[in-house]
Amino acid sequence: MSKTDPGRFFEDYRVGQVIRHAAPRTLAEGERALYHALYPSRHALYSSDDFAAGCGLEGSPLNDLIVFHVIFGKTVPDISVNAVANLGYAQGRWLNPVMPGDTLRAESEVIGLRQTSNGTSGVVWVRTRGLNQMGEPVLDYVRWVMVRKRAPDAPAPDTVVPDL
């Protein structure tokens, strides 16, 4: 018996399947400080509470890229543990500001599947949404990943390639 989750393989995905990723994460001022120390922001909105207040916000939101990194990180155990390669991203939209103290969660819907020509893997397209503690969307993007098959002789699902 394995002590760790082996993750999903290509044949475990179905178009329309919704995966609610585990362990929401609360982002605080500490994440902002560390992120700004590692990747200094040139944008006033993320660096100045006064500037953000002048834009109608209660304070400076967290940088969009930390939001992407947190949401993306939530998807890894369910989407890409068995990835051969991350192939691309599309239609990324940041929908609402994320403030210190917000708790983010992620869910992904499988929107496409295509087995590779050698039959040992397949491409999985997912639309991922990041949501705050009030269920409001803060991020939405599509990602496609080449994922190993558990068994090369397993039947391939019908090919569905989303129009991006």
Q: Are strands 103-115 and 18-20 parallel, antiparallel or unpaired?
A: antiparallel
Confidence of residue 130 (pLDDT cuts 50, 70, 90): very high
Give the start-to-end residue ranges of the domains of the chain: 13-148
DSSP classification of residue 128: E
Checking if the pLDDT of 1 tops 60, the result is no
Which pLDDT tens digit goes with each residue over 6-46?
A: 889 999 999 999 999 999 999 998 888 888 888 887 788 88
Tell me, yes or no, if the pTM score tops 0.85: yes
- What pLDDT was estimated at residue 3? 57
Nearest to 109 by CA among 70, 162, 154: 162
- What pLDDT was estimated at residue 46? 86
CATH architecture for residues 13-148: Roll (3.10)
- What pLDDT was estimated at residue 82? 93
Which pLDDT tens digit goes with each residue over 43-91?
A: 888 888 899 999 999 888 999 999 999 999 999 999 999 999 999 999 9
Spatial separation of the C-alpha atoms in residues 111 and 90, rounded to whole Å: 13
- What pLDDT was estimated at residue 117? 92
